[in-house]
Structure 1
Amino acid sequence: DIDECSFERTCDHTCINYPGSFECLCHKGYTLYGLTHCGDIDECSISNGSCDFACLNTMGSYECVCPPGKKLHWNKKDCVEMVKCLPNGKPAPKAQLVCSKTGGIESCFLSCPSNTLFVPDSENSYTLSCGVPVLHGKAQPRRNSTLPSCSDSLAPPIKQKARFKIKDAKCHLRPRSKEKTKDSGKQAVSDNCQVTFVNLKCDSSKKKRRGRKSPSKEVSHITAEFEVEMKSEEVSDTCNIDCVRKRMEQKLQTAIKTLRKSINKQQFYIQFSGTEYEVAQKPAKATEGHEACSTGQVLQDGKCVTCSTGTFYSGEHNQCVPCSPGTYQDTEGQLTCEPCPSNDGQGAAGARNVSQCGGKLNLICSPGHYSSDGFKPCTVCPLGTYQPEPGRTLCFPCGGGLVTKYEGAVSFQDCETKVHCSPGHYYNSTTHRCIRCPVGTYQPEFGQNYCITCPGNTSTDFDGSTNVTHCKNQHCGGELGDYTGYIESPNYPGDYPANVECIWNINPPPKRRILIVVPEIFLPIEDECGDVLVMRKSASPTSITTYETCQTYERPIAFTSRSRKLWIQFKSNEGNSGKGFQVPYVTYDEDYQQLIEDIVRDGRLYASENHQEILKDKKLIKALFDVLAHPQNYFKYTAQESKEMFPRSFIKLLRSKVSRFLRPYK
């Protein structure tokens, strides 16, 4: 068995080797195309991502967006009024920025009790958000939206952005040491600022000091955005809305000033689940032994493992702790758990999403049902509507006056359409006709009302596609000039697209020539030349041609270019398609021209099956190219290594030629 997974570029994401074959798998949010490639799934093209309002596709994921005055429900799909006064519900606790001064030293704490997200961007930078941003004027509000009844948000929130700098410190979120916590005893002057939303980004970069030989310094930049909401209860006879706004702005500015001083003295901490974290540290502190893994990860069997959903990372204990009853966590590697909507502290520990909040999964509305909060008691979806997902607050209409066969329908396929659409089509509920899926989309199922957008940057050759395998990468061509590289048909090893034209230019470094190996090439056999691969000196049809084919060849061939530069063109028609080709090339020193020609023109190189396999094996071709690009490297491979890699007859063939050429007088 050849381990295909050991080759470079076998799969985009994950490769699994089986006896005699292999399989490529993609990360979550991506789908396979062209046998080995992974492309982002556009979930928004699948029934608007099941979003109540708008859908935003992101790499590997997507998110639902709500209009102003509404916020995303816990199911992350529906839009509900900004403040819902549930009989047993309390509003989610707000973030607080508390700054105090003790003995002339300012220190600030940001406590994040709910709606927190921690994203480690790289080893030395992270982003952290706390609270829910108020969307104002980003999308058109719906006509029928009633204003929140509880505590109304009066006007656009107060927003302020600030940038801070910490010298000699790295962006690592680490638990604050115990000694430091003891020092902060009685607080003298304390400023307390309730914040609706905070977004904090910490980024470290090395700053080179010019001229001197002193070591480069670490500089960390913190960018913080604050949003503070204005509430109607704060407006009084003595202070109108403008006055409240001014007061709030001043309060926030004062807090940011104090925050700047506290950051300069490295006295700024963020609190999650009762643990205080330092935002950035001086290098000396970062060398403690147990801190081998980044925040949100723990050491298991010598590997750093991210804390799973249903748990949070406790910096104090340096371990993953299950969410306590009444809280949940649906994202990996977080520093706290989110309070459940009911907030009554009931339920099981370790809830991985809101639906597990009640501890019992049966508290949530099942597909075909809905309720105002997604929990029981639920109402059946009425006739003419359907709902495929659990825990929703609405049902989707069939549209166009269509009815469903029964109440509690769970899919558009339950709507009684006038015609039944086959795969490759979608049902238009306005015209009541089946429409072919446009180019760049596909639909594998019967009776659907949408077509799925092709993954990544792929598209289909024609409309009416029924499968993701019809989605092909169209990208190809380019400037090549390194010592070695590949020319491959678009979408390889999947079938190449129709009506495509690719042009590559190989322009080797000075005093170097080009050697090409065509291990195998698959072009459909047609009466006249259909799909063509041609290599010549330039785009001019009369220039020196090195290679041209419009057929399938499964026997490998190696040849040197007849010109110093190569212009390569691949053209396909709208007819049949094939797997195409992946052609490696290498450039060699022109002083070795005679030797290379001698090797590639020797019939023995292609005579035996064994030798042919070498030119098809990616690992062996790499070793062979290493020798051809720099023949003296032949002596670098030990006899044992060569024996294990290549058949004896092949080594014999090479050895005689290389030795004779490099050591002619021995």
Structure 2
Amino acid sequence: MYVHVLIRASLGFVGLCLVAFVQQSASGSRTTQDVDECAEAIDNCSIDAICQNTLKSYKCICKSGYKGDGKHCEDVDECATDYNGGCVHECINIPGNYRCTCYDGFRLAHDGHNCLDVDECSEGNGGCQQICVNMMGSYECRCREGFLLSDNQHTCIQRPKETCAVNNGGCDSTCHDSVTGVRCSCPVGFTLQPDRKTCKDIDECRLNNGGCDHVCRNTVGSFECSCKKGYKLLTNERTCQDIDECSFDRACDHFCVNSAGSFQCLCHKGYVLYGLAHCGDIDECSINRGGCKYGCINTLGSYECTCPPGYKLHWNRKDCIELVKCPPGLVAPKATLTCSKMGKKESCSLTCASKAHYLAGTSHHKPSEHILSCGIPILRGKSCIGSVCVPTLLFLSVETLAPPVKQTASFKIKNAKCHLHPKLTGRTEDRGRTLGPGLNCLVTFVNLKCDSSKKAKGRRARNPSNKEVTRITLELEAEVKPGDTTGSCNLSCLRQRMEKQVKTYIKALKKSINQERFLIRVAGLEYEVAQKLPQAAPPQENCGPGWERDSGRCVRCLPGSYYHGEQERCVQCPPGTFQEKEGQLACDLCPGSDGHGPVGARNISSCAGQCSTGYFSNDGFKPCQPCPQGTYQPDLGRTLCFPCGGGLSTKREGASSFHDCEVKVQCSPGHYYNTSVHRCIRCPVGTYQTEFRQNYCISCPGNTTTDFDGATSVSQCKNRQCGGEMGEFMGYIESPNYPGNYPANVECIWNINPPSKRKILIVVPEIFLPSEDECGDVLVMRKNWSATSITTYETCQTYERPIAFTARSRRLWINFKSNEANSARGFQIPYVTYDEDYEQLVEDIVRDGRLYASENHQEILKDKKLIKTLFDVLAHPNNYFKYTTRESNEMLPRSFIRLISSKVSAFLRPYK
């Protein structure tokens, strides 16, 4: 067997050799092992592919510029790539390749990709008659001075001499004839363009914000500065100044705090803010009954806890403790009045064991007035347990079920003054026969007021000279105890005896004061009520009890201190005592005091040793014990803990909040946990709850209520009363609860009835009504209630752009209605009535679009102070002279003054 190697060149494969192996048999015949499909054209390669023979087979490869598997090839679009095939201008795809072309005015560079500018002016001057100017990708024909380019843009024709008389010389604005031709100029705010004809607006805001403090807005030929909300533009029309909203009338009910660009309303203690500006009394009794153990009475700005008969308020003013009876021979901790007589001399003494309140020099106008109170008056009021309130007598002892004996006595001392000074040493007190059994345990309250004043001169005065007249007023309350009744003397008899005894003591008291034999015992020291000051204490050195000299003037002893009679100065309260008031003669003992605590305590809460939250004791002071499981206590110094209710327990002892009670469901804001049914209940209308997991809802403040149940914030409490002040000359109408959102389903009606021969002008600074409400909330102003009467104004949308208009009728009936769908801020709309002789002038002003075109003019119509000033002049023209030219220039922008001045001048001098 022989093997021959045949090498031949195959078409399309230059330089490649195809090797075929042929086997020769013994007989001499040959057998072919491989067929060249490419040469035989029996392959199935694409026409855009190259066939490559292989051993016993072949393969197809797509030509350059094509892609595919060789059997199917498609053209590659090189122009579709991100780099545009590398072409600078245009790329044109062709089968298997691409080519670059250039825009008109350019030619292709030698690299076949870049484009070069064609200089058309280099060949035949670009076809231009005079001047050819080459430009990138183009060229432009121009003419020499005195010629202008014809319509074909190539030839030049001689320019005729320009004059302003013909087409304004071609100038946009001002044209001036000169020797060299016309000269164009532009007004202020415009700049002349290179063609020397056209004027272009200058954008002043691009340079240094136009000099504006806040916002610069370019206008045609000018610009305008404006300010951010809460600021106003000064008359220099550049500077912005904070608006002091607190200087406006009715800005806030209580306190107003101005800040940069805004303000905040605050309320007195015991009040809460609603409607952004209004203050309403907090009903503390609706918040877990004010924390009171028994009853709670809400008052304006505060509240009071009450106790049942036989109990009195604990020092914490919330718990109730049993009243201590007056044992035989002992003095109860209140007032004691004792009088005795020796010969013709009568002496009385008033002892204040506690609850003493002294006030000297009650005001600047009454420096010689002295008031001393001992004990606590018996007050008539209501006791509330839950929602049930009944009349009761407060602060009554356990035996006192009858009203006290009250006696008021008043008498004068001529040619004398009231003075209270420490008892002189060495002066002995005569002890004589005591008048009766005394009022030791029966006097509950004594109020002694002494006021000295000059007797005024007059025709009827018997003595022409001014002399001192001292008036002493005594208020006394004594208990009538039903337990003291006998078979021979019932309650009425007992009361008559008490009244007689009180009168006897008052007579003795009057004599003792006239004889200067009246002593007051406070804090272990004795004071005399004298008609004249003793020589040993000149007025310039001693300010009197309750006062001390500071920098040459008399000042009261501050809270946390008391007047020390022996040292004749103010001294800080010692540890274990406190004093809440000024000018007092003693400090009150802290409950359960052991002599420890801070010096100069100003209130009972400063006393040391109070039980902390979650703890309690018999007196509210240490030692304390934790609240048992199933109870909690959120306050300090309490004598009890509150039950969770409904059989609920707490995780541990010492719980300090209802949050610690293991409720069965967690209530969200707007709900409260009902311990009876153990589920969350929506807060009723008129109440709200802002917190999670509470067992109560808070009553809305003041006279406000909510639109629906389930309120989650005090902001949902709204006053439903229609607002405004209706005057003959000026006034305003206001949506309920303004500036807060108005309530749902409310209707207001106002009537403006001006005096004879006067018209109505109304300014709507802004109005907020929900546009998505499909006109469910509407404000309408008509002649009367009839829907067919003349309508002046009607809207159901929000407009922050102000508008002024005159009424189309002499009287106005104004109606505002809201539905239950949505709510908004509403409106406050002022009005003024003016003399009908000025109707033409007023109409001319309010209908001029320039009044509203400028943002600064719009802000004038929103400025409450400026509107009030303008209305004041419009209602009473003579008031114009109250505002000098200088003042008006400082209040109003120059553009506004120019607008109004031109209208007034035209009105007053129509033929000039």
Query: TM class, shorter-chain normalised?
Result: 0.7 to 0.9
Contact kept in structure 2, 1:68 and 1:136, CA below 8 Å: no
1:372 matched to which residue of 2? 618
- 1:544 corresponds, among 775, 783, 790, to 790
Query: Which whole-Å deviations, capped at 9, do the CAs of 1:75-116 have from their partners, x for residues lacking one?
Result: 11111111299xxxx986321335678998988765544224
| 1:444 partnered with 2:690 | yes
Query: Which whole-Å deviations, capped at 9, do the CAs of 1:628-666 have from their partners, x for residues lacking one?
Result: 112232233222211211101212233344456568899
Could you tell me how far apart the structure 1 residues matched to 2:908 and 2:514 are? 66
Could you tell me how far apart the structure 2 residues matched to 1:243 and 1:438 are? 53
Give runs of aligned pairs for residues 88-99 of structure 1, distance below 5 A.
Answer: 93-98=333-338
Could you tell me how far apart the structure 1 residues matched to 2:283 and 2:697 are? 11
Could you tell me how far apart the structure 2 residues matched to 1:562 and 1:279 are? 76
Contact kept in structure 2, 1:296 and 1:307, CA below 8 Å: yes
Contact kept in structure 2, 1:308 and 1:332, CA below 8 Å: yes
Give runs of aligned pairs for residues 141-152 of structure 1, distance below 5 A.
Answer: none
| 1:6 partnered with 2:257 | no
Query: Which whole-Å deviations, capped at 9, do the CAs of 1:561-610 have from their partners, x for residues lacking one?
Result: 23333222111110111111111222333343333333323332222111
Alpha carbons of 1:201 and 1:247: their partners in 2 closer, same or farther (altered >3 Å)? closer
- 2:893 corresponds, among 647, 658, 662, to 647
2:877 matched to which residue of 1? 631
| 1:176 partnered with 2:419 | yes
Contact kept in structure 2, 1:4 and 1:10, CA below 8 Å: yes
Q: Quick check: 156-165 or 381-390, which moved more?
A: 156-165
Q: How much has 1:349 moved relative to structure 2?
A: 2.6
1:75 matched to which residue of 2? 316
1:36 matched to which residue of 2? 277
Contact kept in structure 2, 1:595 and 1:661, CA below 8 Å: yes
Contact kept in structure 2, 1:443 and 1:466, CA below 8 Å: yes
Q: Secondary structure at the match of 2:878?
A: helix
Could you tell me how far apart the structure 2 residues matched to 1:656 and 1:640 are? 18
Alpha carbons of 1:166 and 1:133: their partners in 2 closer, same or farther (altered >3 Å)? closer
1:156 matched to which residue of 2? 401
Contact kept in structure 2, 1:70 and 1:79, CA below 8 Å: yes
Query: Which whole-Å deviations, capped at 9, do the CAs of 1:132-178 have from their partners, x for residues lacking one?
Result: 45689975999xxxxxxxxx854436622334557899xxxx97266
| 1:197 partnered with 2:197 | no
1:130 matched to which residue of 2? 374
Q: How much has 1:557 moved relative to structure 2?
A: 1.2
Contact kept in structure 2, 1:161 and 1:223, CA below 8 Å: no
Letter of the 1:58 partner, please give it.
T
Contact kept in structure 2, 1:69 and 1:135, CA below 8 Å: no
2:504 matched to which residue of 1? 254
Alpha carbons of 1:223 and 1:427: their partners in 2 closer, same or farther (altered >3 Å)? farther
Contact kept in structure 2, 1:489 and 1:496, CA below 8 Å: yes
Contact kept in structure 2, 1:161 and 1:226, CA below 8 Å: yes
Give runs of aligned pairs for residues 36-115 of structure 1, distance below 5 A.
Answer: 36-83=277-324, 93-98=333-338, 110-115=350-355
- 1:395 corresponds, among 623, 641, 645, to 641
Q: Secondary structure at the match of 1:632?
A: helix
Q: Quick check: 511-520 or 369-378, which moved more?
A: 511-520
Alpha carbons of 1:220 and 1:280: their partners in 2 closer, same or farther (altered >3 Å)? farther
Q: Secondary structure at the match of 2:592?
A: coil
Q: Quick check: 508-517 or 483-492, which moved more?
A: 508-517
Q: How much has 1:422 moved relative to structure 2?
A: 1.1
- 1:228 corresponds, among 479, 495, 509, to 479
1:146 matched to which residue of 2? none
Q: How much has 1:70 moved relative to structure 2?
A: 0.8
1:457 matched to which residue of 2? 703
2:821 matched to which residue of 1? 575
| 1:469 partnered with 2:712 | no
Could you tell me how far apart the structure 2 residues matched to 1:291 and 1:623 are? 54
1:534 matched to which residue of 2? 780
Q: Quick check: 112-121 or 628-637, which moved more?
A: 112-121
Greater Rg over alpha carbons, structure: 2
Q: Secondary structure at the match of 2:439?
A: strand
Q: Secondary structure at the match of 2:760?
A: strand
- 1:327 corresponds, among 577, 590, 599, to 577
Could you tell me how far apart the structure 2 residues matched to 1:665 and 1:289 are? 78
Could you tell me how far apart the structure 1 residues matched to 2:849 and 2:406 are? 72
Contact kept in structure 1, 2:480 and 2:494, CA below 8 Å: no
Could you tell me how far apart the structure 2 residues matched to 1:491 and 1:116 are? 45
Q: Quick check: 533-542 or 343-352, which moved more?
A: 343-352
Letter of the 2:718 partner, please give it.
K
Contact kept in structure 1, 2:405 and 2:498, CA below 8 Å: no
Q: Quick check: 250-259 or 237-246, which moved more?
A: 237-246
1:495 matched to which residue of 2? 741
Alpha carbons of 1:317 and 1:23: their partners in 2 closer, same or farther (altered >3 Å)? farther
Q: How much has 1:219 moved relative to structure 2?
A: 12
Q: How much has 1:117 moved relative to structure 2?
A: 5.7
1:348 matched to which residue of 2? 598
Could you tell me how far apart the structure 2 residues matched to 1:167 and 1:490 are? 55
- 2:588 corresponds, among 310, 315, 338, to 338
Structure 2 residue runs without a partner (length 5+): 1-241, 387-396, 533-538
Contact kept in structure 1, 2:744 and 2:819, CA below 8 Å: yes
Q: Secondary structure at the match of 1:97?
A: strand
Could you tell me how far apart the structure 2 residues matched to 1:408 and 1:375 are? 16
Letter of the 1:469 partner, please give it.
S
Q: Quick check: 110-119 or 367-376, which moved more?
A: 110-119
Contact kept in structure 1, 2:423 and 2:526, CA below 8 Å: no
Letter of the 1:131 partner, please give it.
G
| 1:587 partnered with 2:833 | yes
Q: Secondary structure at the match of 1:193?
A: coil
Alpha carbons of 1:415 and 1:166: their partners in 2 closer, same or farther (altered >3 Å)? same
Q: How much has 1:263 moved relative to structure 2?
A: 9.1
Contact kept in structure 2, 1:15 and 1:25, CA below 8 Å: yes
Could you tell me how far apart the structure 2 residues matched to 1:523 and 1:299 are? 62
2:177 matched to which residue of 1? none
Aligned-pair Cα RMSD in Å? 4.9
Contact kept in structure 1, 2:422 and 2:527, CA below 8 Å: no
Could you tell me how far apart the structure 2 residues matched to 1:47 and 1:258 are? 50
Q: Quick check: 631-640 or 242-251, which moved more?
A: 242-251
Letter of the 1:130 partner, please give it.
C
Q: Quick check: 340-349 or 513-522, which moved more?
A: 340-349
Q: How much has 1:620 moved relative to structure 2?
A: 1.4
Structure 1 residue runs without a partner (length 5+): 143-151, 282-287
Q: How much has 1:521 moved relative to structure 2?
A: 0.5
Contact kept in structure 1, 2:294 and 2:319, CA below 8 Å: yes
Q: Secondary structure at the match of 2:501?
A: helix
Identity %: 61
Contact kept in structure 1, 2:672 and 2:696, CA below 8 Å: yes
Could you tell me how far apart the structure 2 residues matched to 1:104 and 1:507 are? 76
Could you tell me how far apart the structure 1 residues matched to 2:796 and 2:519 are? 68
Q: How much has 1:462 moved relative to structure 2?
A: 0.6
Q: How much has 1:418 moved relative to structure 2?
A: 1.6
Could you tell me how far apart the structure 1 residues matched to 2:689 and 2:813 are? 39
Query: Which whole-Å deviations, capped at 9, do the CAs of 1:271-307 have from their partners, x for residues lacking one?
Result: 76669698999xxxxxx99999xx9999999999997
Q: Quick check: 260-269 or 606-615, which moved more?
A: 260-269
Could you tell me how far apart the structure 1 residues matched to 2:531 and 2:791 are? 62
